[in-house]
Chain A
Amino acid sequence: MNDLLAARSQMGVSLAFHIVFAVVGIGMPLLMVVAEWRHLRTGDPVYLDLAKRWSKGTAIMFAVGAVSGTILSFELGLLWPTFMEFAGPIIGMPFSLEGFAFFVEAIFLGVYLYGWKRISPRAHLWAGVLVAVSGAASAVFVVIASAWMNAPAGFRLVDGRPVDVHPLAAMANPAAFTQTLHMVLAAYAATGLGVAGIHAFLLLRDPAHRFHRRALAVALVAGAPAAILQPISGDLSAKMVARTQPAKLAAMEALFETRAGAPLLIGGWPDPDRGESPFAIEVPYALSILAFGDPRAEVRGLDQVPRADWPNVPFVHLSFQVMVALGTYLALVSLRAAWLAWRRRDPADDRRLLQALALGTPMGFLAIEAGWMVTEVGRQPWIIAGVLRTADAVTPMPGLVVPFTFFTLLYVALTAAVVWLMRRQILETPPAEAWAAPAAAKEAARA
């Protein structure tokens, strides 16, 4: 494995690991706040218990998110010093703002987790709200930075160096809005439907369990709307990519030739050498409509890009298809749940829906991983699209396969520990009888 490949793999593995915990750190505070708010409104102790149990899992996930994020901040330099020397002054600004979002998040998470008995219930709820808001803000800021790598702005290039730097213009880059919107929705959809799926699974075994019924309702409130909006937001993203990153779009859609009235390919295994995609289903004109809203619009193909500068076409195409397929499934399941809620029926009574939700537990997270493969691998061979090549940005440190192997093993160990601990948390749910006692007595015991 050469050093460039090792560095790219290490970055990719680190980010793919971090994002799972980051997304949970964005989504779970919302679920906990909704549960706690329901408790304050209704006095139902089950909701309080829910918030407390969820907060334990969140504490574990959050700590791993914080340490893996720290690895990333260092890795930006350890692996890509040239990139950071170039990009730091231009796009460091959102990272600085993110630093303050981390502060607020970490401070009020400490208050939330350890402050149950120390502050008033109302103050406690507000601490949760601040964690949720600052978590979403962290995601927005860091994704702005990533969007800038896709659609760089806020500087001019003179002799390979940036001049006329403007950090605010860099933050307002053309990809920023669609990417951050899509990411924040993704976090709520993945966490909400992930949690809903776990409780749906447990409800299939014990349909009357009040704890899981409440949990399912709260998780669906957080996850389903985001999952329904996600295809719309994804369509906005695709239009943005079509406008700003034609090579990436061509790879996503396996479009080898520039065409007016381009078809959409569903499935297929693109073969870059022959410029065809066997086994694909073609939907005529659909790509031109989706990308530019006009069936006759010309869509640029890979023939406009030098062969040496193509990203890995089969990989990008496949990742994109996986994301869209998973997103469609989650949106349909969410629509079904929304329909039931609209008809005032409890989704927990619909076994078919419970099965579909349980099946969908990991799908949001898989879609997130696939989506990032599309953005990042689809941008190759550039680290900053059209400006700096990844190969020119890598550290001169030799033997990078050693840290890559080492950090990968570290992630494997962390994953094993987290899975073990989360299993413990979930299996610890009390049996349904635990809430048989009157709510008031339970409350008194807790105070």
Chain B
Amino acid sequence: MPESALAAALAAAVMASLNAYVLLGGADFGGGVWDLLAGGPRRDRQRALVADAIGPIWEANHVWLILVIVLLFTCFPAVFARLSIGLHIPLSLMLVGIVLRGSAFTFRTYDSQRDDVQRRWGRIFAGASIGTPVLLGISVGTIASGAVRVPAGEGFAEVFVRPWLQPFPLAVGLLTLVLFAFLAAVYLMAEADDPALREDFRHRALGAGVAAFGAAALALVLAREDAPLVWNRLLGSAWAVPVHLATAVFAVAALAAIWRRRAAAARLAAAAQVTCILWGWALSQYPFLLPPDLTYRSAAAPAVTLRLVLAALAIGSIVLVPSLYYLFRVFKGRPA
């Protein structure tokens, strides 16, 4: 394989892992949002459903993020280095969220079942489930706006704060949170056994789906100022129309399926919608991994490394795919 194709394949692998993380790990965070917003007569059962849905799988889902990081520093080390410098603050805060979410969730499961104890861990779990997606989105938004920098004599705020504390990254943070909550509501609707509980999550899914439209529109409008590269590409390039069209079709299909209580179809359409948004972002900044200057070719590791990692990914998938299939069959195998 020529070097540029190799590098493109690995950049695609990074994106694919991020995609898996968003669809699987993202929904686990969304579950935390619904834990916080649980209410009405079935409040405790809503929480129990969230806990049952996340319990067996969140650690496996979380590994997708690790894979993103590892692939990034092995295959595109310059990108990893610059991201870690410029986004030091939001990434550190995101880490705190990841730690609190995972540990509070587990501690709640194994601590005393008394109400006050459960509520205390539950609050930490839910709070972290909200903060973390926002910070992930902020980081993505800052990348897209081409503002990640390394210091070259400017002040602290100029380099380490101002780039990400802008309307556009914040809007992407909001969008991420809403999409994660949307995914979670749709999945939970598919997993609930009891019709009343299913209705609870159906309403939540409809609400979040509509909110996602709003958040996406807001981010797009702000992109014009803050992320001109993405803005121009999303409106101007040849592939823009089909991508927008696909996103829109899946978004409408998801809402329609939710409306008509077709949980399995809704799950597929919602996942496809979020996937389209993610790849729309990736395409809009192609060939840059980190605008304005680091492309997937200029930042790539030597070809031997890329080749070996690609081989490892291929062999690893042989182990991974059946294992994941087994996991989801054991725990999510109920017909929806």
Contacts and interface: CB of A to CB of B under 8 A. Distances in A.
Contacts, number: 198
Contacts of A246: none
Interface of B: 55-57, 59-60, 62-63, 65-67, 69-71, 73-75, 77-78, 80-85, 88, 91-92, 95-96, 98-99, 102-103, 105-107, 109-112, 150-151, 156, 160, 301-302, 304-305, 308-309, 312-313, 316, 319-320, 323-324, 326-327, 330-331
A59 interface: yes
A155 to B, nearest CB: 9
Given A421-B110, A425-B110, A78 B84 contact: yes
A24 B313 CA distance: 28
* Residue in A56, A86, A107, A167 with the greatest tally of chain B CB atoms within 10 Å: A107
Contacts of B304: 165-167
B320 A73 contact: no
17 contacts: A60-B106, A63-B59, A63-B105, A66-B102, A67-B103, A68-B99, A73-B66, A89-B301, A92-B77, A92-B309, A93-B312, A96-B312, A103-B60, A104-B323, A110-B327, A111-B56, A165-B305
Interface of A: 56, 59-60, 62-64, 66-71, 73-74, 76-78, 81-82, 84-86, 88-90, 92-93, 95-100, 102-104, 106-111, 113-115, 118-119, 165-168, 395-399, 403, 406, 410, 414, 417, 421, 424-425
B323 A108 contact: yes
A5 B154 CA distance: 24
Given A93-B74, A395-B84, A70 B62 contact: yes
Contacts of A425: 110
A71 to B, nearest CB: 5
Given A84-B73, A104-B323, A110-B57, A97 B63 contact: no
Contacts of B110: 56, 59-60, 421, 425
Contact of B80 (A62, A84, A403): A84
Contacts of B99: 67-68, 70-71, 410, 414
Given A78-B92, A88-B301, A70 B60 contact: no
B95 A77 contact: no
Nearest to A166: B304
B323 A103 contact: yes
Contacts of A103: 60, 63, 67, 316, 319-320, 323-324
Contacts of B95: 70-71, 74
Given A96-B316, A417-B107, 15 more contacts: A60-B106, A66-B59, A67-B102, A70-B95, A74-B91, A76-B73, A77-B84, A98-B70, A106-B60, A106-B63, A111-B327, A115-B56, A119-B330, A167-B308, A395-B88
Q: Is the interface of A mostly helix, strand, loop or mixed?
A: helix
B151 A114 contact: no
B74 A85 contact: no
Kindly list the 10 A-B residue pairs having the minimum CB-CB distance in the complex, ordered from nearest.
Answer: A92-B74, A77-B84, A89-B301, A88-B77, A63-B106, A81-B81, A100-B316, A110-B56, A114-B56, A106-B59
A82 B60 CA distance: 30
B63 A102 contact: yes
Nearest to A98: B70
A104 B317 CA distance: 11
Given A66-B102, A110-B59, A89 B92 contact: no
Contacts of B67: 96, 99, 103
A414 B110 CA distance: 14
A70 B98 contact: yes
B321 to A, nearest CB: 10
Contact of B331 (A82, A110, A168): A110
Contacts of B305: 89-90, 92-93, 165, 167
B305 to A, nearest CB: 4
B103 A89 contact: no
B70 A118 contact: no
Contacts of A62: 59
* Residue in B59, B98, B327 with the greatest tally of chain A CB atoms within 10 Å: B59
A59 B58 CA distance: 12
Given A73-B66, A77-B81, A99-B63, A107 B301 contact: no
A73 B60 CA distance: 16
Nearest to A89: B301
B103 A63 contact: yes
A421 B99 CA distance: 17
Given A60-B110, A71-B95, A396 B151 contact: yes
Contact of B88 (A56, A104, A165, A397): A397
Contact of B98 (A67, A168, A424): A67
B98 A77 contact: no
A421 B66 CA distance: 27
Contact of B66 (A88, A102, A110): A102
A165 B313 CA distance: 20
A68 B99 CA distance: 7
Contacts of B313: 96
Contacts of A69: 66
B210 to A, nearest CB: 33
B317 to A, nearest CB: 9
A89 B77 contact: yes
Contacts of A106: 59-60, 62-63
A92 B75 contact: yes
A77 B73 contact: yes
